[in-house]
Amino acid sequence: MAEISLRGVRKSYGPTEVIHGVDCEVADGELIVIVGPSGCGKSTLLRMVAGLETISGGEVWIKGRKVNDLEPRERDIAMVFQNYALYPHMSVFDNMAYGLKIARVPRDEIRARVDKAAAMLELAPYLARKPRELSGGQRQRVAMGRAIVRNPAAFLFDEPLSNLDAKLRVQMRMEIKALQRELGVTALYVTHDQVEAMTLADRMIVMNDGRAEQIGRPLEIYDDPASTFVAGFIGSPPMNFLPDGNGLTGVRPEHLRLCAPVEGLVAGRVRFTEALGAETLAHVALDGGGIATVRLDAHAAAREGEAVGLAADPARLYRFDAGGARLRG
């Protein structure tokens, strides 16, 4: 049974519609990542599930209950915010216990649940501290602890890692995934970072301009994008697009190879290369205008300024119509 289901969810501010009907069924224990550029409506969608924004149209169901008109606390969800939103004047323990206190959970049980969550998150030594005495990563853990102790039907994450530095982000990403697996809790996770989306998601919703452009498993989406937007957004460096009649032909950087200038799909000149260690990226200025990125072996011979052709396996080409939609077959 679906744990969370979104049925034609819409949001408008006055006459302006910002979410144009999103449908998605989230299975029990699934981690769904909602990914998209800023302003695409992904946070708004999450906040509608949380109950922080009203739902203008459609229905949101959590655990078999329609929650459209329920207060956030009645929806059986917990949320982790971008800036952690810890209560600055309360200790770590009180931060985690606050929701339980309001729900009038007995004192002993609060103690037990907070201790358990703190042990799981390695926060036990910090329970008496104030949030300002903690590092960014620890604060993030407290925010997660606050969500865990409530034992909710679903976790909602709103860009929880974007305030951390790059290294910590990778580490916390793993921790979030491990924790979610261990607890088996359904989770919705909003991010603008497609790497985060690819690595975390069981399935992801790629959003653009208030629409769910594509919903699917990360590799499905990567291998079989439904539109130029999805193809360009998922994957780093992004897919190359070459003009093709009225539409576009897309090809991923790893599916291109260098060849003699006359042999390939297109010809161009290597503008510069980026040696990343494990691989080298060559940026080729195409003769017809535009730039294509080619992913090469680490020590591939590509000299800047060299005239090259770009070749690709025809099976690896994606064709899109003038509106950006995928042409199949």
Contact residues for another protein, defined by CB under 8 A: 50-52, 71-73, 77-79, 81-83, 85-89, 98-99, 102-103, 132, 146, 150
Amino acid (one-letter) located at 319: R
Smaller CB separation from another protein, 176 or 302: 176
Task: Tell the smallest beta-carbon distance from residue 60 to another protein (Å).
Answer: 15
Smaller CB separation from another protein, 57 or 72: 72
Residue 269 burial (C-beta neighbours within 10 Å; 0-12, 13-18, 19+): middle
Task: Tell the smallest beta-carbon distance from residue 115 to another protein (Å).
Answer: 19
Cα dihedral value 28, 33, 34, 36, nearest 10: -170
Contact 302, 283 (CB under 8 A): no
Question: Could you give the strand order of the β-sheet that contains 65-66, starting from the edge strand earlier in sequence?
Answer: 16-27, 2-13, 57-62, 65-66
Smaller CB separation from another protein, 74 or 297: 74
Alpha-carbon distances of 175 from 159, 178, 181, 200, rounded to whole Å: 15, 5, 10, 10
Task: Tell the smallest beta-carbon distance from residue 179 to another protein (Å).
Answer: 19
Smaller CB separation from another protein, 69 or 219: 69
Task: Tell the smallest beta-carbon distance from residue 102 to another protein (Å).
Answer: 4
Residue 6's φ and ψ, nearest 5 degrees, are -105, 125
Smaller CB separation from another protein, 77 or 248: 77
Task: Tell the smallest beta-carbon distance from residue 11 to another protein (Å).
Answer: 16
Amino acid (one-letter) located at 162: S
Smaller CB separation from another protein, 71 or 182: 71
Task: Tell the smallest beta-carbon distance from residue 269 to another protein (Å).
Answer: 49
Smaller CB separation from another protein, 82 or 199: 82
Contact 52, 72 (CB under 8 A): yes
211 token code pair: 């629409």
Task: Tell the smallest beta-carbon distance from residue 139 to another protein (Å).
Answer: 12
Smaller CB separation from another protein, 89 or 181: 89
Task: Tell the smallest beta-carbon distance from residue 181 to another protein (Å).
Answer: 23
Terminal-to-terminal C-alpha distance of the chain: 34
Neighbours of 282 (CB within 10 A): 26
Task: Tell the smallest beta-carbon distance from residue 7 to another protein (Å).
Answer: 23
Smaller CB separation from another protein, 85 or 183: 85
Euclidean distance between CA atoms 146 and 215, whole angstroms: 29
Contact 248, 238 (CB under 8 A): no
DSSP for residue 290: S
Helices (H), the chain: 42-50, 92-102, 107-120, 136-149, 166-183, 194-200, 218-223, 228-233
88 token code pair: 């600055």
